[in-house]
Amino acid sequence: MDLLKDILYNTDKPWNQFYGWAHAGWANWGWPPFILDIIFQLCFAVIIAVVLILNALWIIYYDRKIAALFQIRKGPNRVGPLGLFQTIADTVKLLIKEDINPKAVDLAVFFLAPVFIFIPTFMVMLVIPFGRGLIPADLNIGILYVMAITGLSVIGILMAGWGSNSKYSLIGGLRSAVQLVSYEIPMMLVILTIVMMSGTLSMGGIVQAQAGYKWFWLPQIVGFILFLIAGNAEVNRAPFDLPEAESELVAGFNTEYSAMKFAFFYLAEYVNLFITSAIAATLFLGGWEGPLLPPVVWFFIKTYFVVTLLMWIRWTFPRLRVDHLMEFSWKYLIPIALLNMVVTAFVIKLV
Amino acid sequence: MVETLLFYVFAAAIVFTAVMMVLSPNIFHSAIYLALCLFGVAAIFAMLGSFFLAGLQVLIYIGAVVVLTIFVISLTRQVSGESDAQMGNILPAFLTAGLSTTLIILAVLKTDWNTMAGESVAALEKTNNVTLLGNQLISSFVLPFEVISVLLLAALIGAVVIVSKDAGENK
Amino acid sequence: MNLKLLSDELMLTGIITAVLLLDFIIKDKKQIIAYTFLALIAGLTLFIGLHRQQGVVLNGSFIYDGISWFSKLIIMLGAVLATVMSLETIKVKPKYTGAYYALMGTSALGMMFLVSSKELVTLYVALELATISLIVLSAMHKHDDLSLEAGMKYLLLGALSSGILLYGLSLVYASAKTTYLDRIMAVVSSGAAGPAFILGIILVLLGVGFKLSMVPMHVWTPDVYQGAPTPVAAYISVASKAAGFIFAIRLFQYTFLKLDYVWVPILMVLAVLTMMIGNLVAISQKNLKRLLAYSTISQAGYILVGFVGASVIGISSVLFYLFAYTLTNILAFTVLAVVAKNTGSDELADYSGLARREPFLAVSLMLALLSLAGIPPLAGFVGKFYLFYAAMEKGYVWLVIIAALNSTLSLYYYLLVLRQMYIYDSAVEMPKMKIPVSLRILIIVCIIAILAVGIMPGWFIDTTTEIAQNMFTYTK
């Protein structure tokens, strides 16, 4: 019983015990210890991948249900109880569909684009603290790593847009890249402010800095709102979904993609949504901290709170025009974020 | 042992992508190779225990420089069409590059690096090099740090002046 | 920390900020900004001239010694003269006036940091600040394709050379494990310089060569001079080159002095090549701006002759020549700017009969060109004589002979220009040229200065010698 409690609440303690025990056992075999470490890393990778995909399946279903709620209709309700298996059915359909490669595409670029988009989203999960001690790798540059790796997916989007050799894809890809680059700046400024307050770049450290329910969302309310706006833009969702604006661009950069490759894009979008929410929960809502319930549960509650917020925004606001989009970031978000940073710096120094 | 192996894997990847970047007839492919090459450099930084530099390398070089390059290529080139390679001058280019590379390799190999004073990598790994870097930037290197702000201002003004469209001008 | 030593740089930063704010406030009558900028930097030049300081701050990464004082003066002098020239001749849209003068300021700021820093990172950042501002300035005539081409070439070749420079600096850093020049010098003195260090020095030499427009890094010069607005070309040719030479002095005559068996032979060969190529190509030029560009390349060659010469006299002669050269080149470019403003052309053919139409301009240009060629009693003669004397002192007789021959060769194409102005007559009747008052004053001031320096060089030579000695005695 104590062990179960430890696993749920203080995951690092039993884990360290297990790790030491495993290494001791391994030493008897006479193999070099790094092979065991590599095996552990691989296990982590598999666990993360499974969690990632299951979570994405659920989040897609959740999004559709929320959408239905806002539009006063039922949403998915046929496959399985409450339509819960709808996404699984859709995924299976996508997987067994014919994979069409248009003739004029640049094949290598066209093939690699989904990979370039999906791998970074997977890599970011490495530094997200799911619970006490439940962080695959607590790098000392945690949040910088997140920003660097998420920046890589822009290349994937541009590759998809250019490799498809179609005007809709190209325009969608370019719009997306412009948007991602522009909204990365206010986002980074906000993150910098958080780093100033917590005095560390490590994700675990940022959660520690908020211990004792001194969550950053209240002192950083401006930053929190900016982060939500910029984060929403980073995942290309309404009202910032110009890259795939159906009514003008067919489907944006993934117009020419079908079957499995399209599934990658689709999945990546929802995984990104989850990651942005998870980072928001870590930076502003105290990460896994919370009373009674195990930390992991709290982490998911907070993350899904942010996910719901973003979905709410998505289904209530109309789409922006492309030049307004740029103006909004450069003329409003960035100055506000800078001002926020300067004020925070003074407050930290004076208080 | 593993580290040495990894180092050679990354080094080989860097050299391969760098060569492919130069030789690829398609400029978009060149840009992708460049991104991979820079990623390899970031991996080497990470292996040396300098995660912060590795992060910055990815953030700035891939996330900004290569993205900008690809963006410009997307705006100006066709997917299919004429090759961008200028293979006419390949011999002198090869000679120059080969000669200078040989010279550099020879010079680096002939140098006795161990006898020189300096902190070892192991000593650096123990310190938190993000904090160290931050402190250095505002103590020993405060002057260049401040001059860079003027540099960025000048670059910003320059970019605005050169790019901005004047009324009644069709450019 | 003694911030008083940084007062010049801080004041210039203040001036740049003021210009940008003024640009924001003043909606029309943008000329006000230009005159304000001119007044402020002229004041600053006066302040620097009268207020020489001595000292080091920031662990020896920033030094205010004689050489930085003198070169700051040259840079600010170049900036002031180029600004006066800009007032009436640049064709930049009014809304960019503020940006133009602000960039002029930032480039001067970069050069000022360049001449007074003794630490590699600062040196590099300052160099980039100066170069990037100059790149934008040369592309400032956006309506003119040549100007855009100039900016483009300057940018690409500048990036290439700064890559080479940076690679060299990183090899130096890797060998010496420090970026401070004093400590690098200690490493050099201890004899611990390996092959990588030497390779680093050679690469640094090539990288610096870009600023000096030294062969083989000279190819950008003619195109940039031709395309850039004339005041900017003048400014690049004097201030940027002066800053580059001070950079070279700090690195080679000071830090790597013990390794002179490496860089002196290379520099001697490059000096000969620079003089030869500059002079030979200049002969066939039909555009006066390109001709002056090649002439500045050959001038860089002459300065290198003095540079490899005996240390104190060598540095002193380089400094003296830079001063004389600044005045002379500004004078030549001013005449070009006036003519171009009236005729809209820099072609040599359009200078036919200038002596009859505008004797004032023709005489000024003649004085400038003769000073460049090194004819007594003009400033250029004393400067060149001093440079060659410095090389003789070290025993490089053959180098001096080649330089003297080149000097004679250069007289040929300078005389070609004079022939065009004095002997040929223009085919069409031209209207009288309008010479703005500010430029007339500028020309007269330059002529007086050239004559004064040429006739009474004693005081100047004493100053530069004292400064050169100061660099070696005041090392702490």
Helix (H) or strand (E) holding C63: strand C62-64
Distance CA C220, CA C241 (A): 13
Residue A84 inside a domain? The answer is no
CB contact under 8 A, A155 and B35: yes
Distance of CA C317 to the CA centre of its chain: 15
The pLDDT confidence band at residue B147, using thresholds 50, 70 and 90, is very high
- In order, the DSSP letters of C100-141 are HHHHHHHHHHHHHHHHHB-BHHHHHHHHHHHHHHHHHHHT--
Helix (H, G, I), strand (E, B) or coil at C55: strand
B169 burial class (0-12, 13-18, 19+ CB within 10 angstroms)? Answer: exposed
Question: Which chains sit next to A, with 3 or more Cβ pairs under 8 A?
Answer: B
pLDDT for res C134: 93
Mean of the per-residue pLDDT values of chain B: 81
Domain count, chain A: 1
> Are C128 and C162 within 8 A, CB to CB?
yes
Q: How far is CA C153 from CA B97, C138, C214, C230, in A?
A: 22, 10, 16, 17
Q: What is the pLDDT along chain C (476 residues), one digit of tens a residue?
A: 678 888 999 999 999 999 999 988 888 888 888 999 999 999 999 999 898 888 888 888 888 888 899 999 999 999 999 999 998 888 888 888 889 999 999 999 999 999 999 889 999 999 999 999 999 999 988 888 888 899 999 999 999 999 999 999 999 988 888 888 888 888 888 877 788 888 999 999 999 999 888 888 888 999 999 989 999 999 999 999 999 999 999 888 888 888 888 889 999 999 999 999 999 999 888 899 999 999 999 999 999 998 888 678 889 999 999 999 999 999 999 999 998 888 888 888 888 888 888 888 999 999 999 999 988 888 889 999 999 999 988 888 999 999 999 999 999 999 988 888 888 877 676 777 888 888 999 999 999 999 999 888 888 889 888 888 887 776 54
Domain count, chain C: 1
pLDDT for res B17: 93
Q: How far is CA B105 from CA B18, B21, B94, B99, in A?
A: 17, 21, 16, 10
What phi and psi, each to the nearest 5 degrees, are found at residue C139? -95, 15
pLDDT for res B122: 56
pLDDT for res B171: 42
Half-sphere exposure of C234 (CA within 13 A, CB side): 27
Nearest-neighbour CA in chain B from A299: distance (Å)? 26
What's at C350, amino acid-wise? D
Looking at A140-245, list the stretches that DSSP marks H as alpha helix, in order from N- to C-terminal side.
Answer: 142-163, 167-198, 203-209, 221-234
Question: Which chains sit next to C, with 3 or more Cβ pairs under 8 A?
Answer: B
Q: With pLDDT > 90 as the criterion, what percentage of chain A qualifies?
A: 4
Contacts of C187 in chain B (CB under 8 A): 116
All residues at 6 or more sequence positions from A46 whose CB lies less than 8 Å from its CB, including other chains: none
What phi and psi, each to the nearest 5 degrees, are found at residue B168? 75, 15
Q: Does A139 contact B at CB distance below 8 Å? A: yes
pLDDT for res C293: 92
Class at the top of the CATH hierarchy for domain B1-77:
mainly alpha
Residue C100's nearest CA partner among C11, C8, C23, C12 is: C23
User: From the CB of residue C114, how many other CB atoms can be counted at a distance below 10 Å?
Assistant: 30
What residue numbers bound the domain in which C50 lies?
A: 3-473
Contacts of B162 in chain C (CB under 8 A): 136, 139, 142, 151
All residues at 6 or more sequence positions from A304 whose CB lies less than 8 Å from its CB, including other chains: A62, A277
Residue C334's nearest CA partner among C84, C62, C112, C21 is: C84
Distance CA B22, CA B29 (A): 10
What residue numbers bound the domain in which A334 lies?
A: 102-350
State the count of interchain CB pairs (< 8 A) between A and B.
85
Contacts of B80 in chain A (CB under 8 A): 104, 106, 165
Residue A79 inside a domain? The answer is no
Helix (H, G, I), strand (E, B) or coil at A287: coil
pLDDT surpassing 50 at residue B160: yes
Q: Which residues of chain A have pLDDT under 70?
A: 1, 238, 242-251
> Are B25 and B53 within 8 A, CB to CB?
no
Closest Cβ opposite residue B79 in set A165, A178, A201:
A165
Nearest-neighbour CA in chain B from C132: distance (Å)? 7
Characterize the bridge pairing of strands C55-57 and C62-64: antiparallel
Distance CA A64, CA A74 (A): 9
Helix (H, G, I), strand (E, B) or coil at C175: helix
pLDDT in tens, B76-105: 766 555 565 566 677 888 888 889 889 888
Distance CA A73, CA B106 (A): 73
Token pair for C404: 């003297």
Closest Cβ opposite residue C129 in set B112, B151, B162:
B151
Distance CA A286, CA A301 (A): 12
pLDDT in tens, B106-137: 988 888 776 544 555 555 555 667 888 888 88
Q: In chain B, list all ranges with CATH 1.20.120.1200.
A: 1-77
Contacts of B157 in chain C (CB under 8 A): 20, 99, 102-103, 136
CB contact under 8 A, B154 and C133: yes
| Chain C residue closest in CA terms to B110 | C195
Distance CA C291, CA C348 (A): 9
pLDDT for res C100: 92
Residue C108's nearest CA partner among C79, C151, C82 is: C79
Bridge partners, A131 (sequence order): A134
Nearest-neighbour CA in chain B from C100: distance (Å)? 9
Distance CA C164, CA C158 (A): 10
pLDDT for res B165: 74
Question: Which whole number is the average pLDDT over B134-161?
Answer: 89
Q: Which of B102, B138, B143 to mutate to test the interface with C (most CBs of C within 10 A)?
A: B143
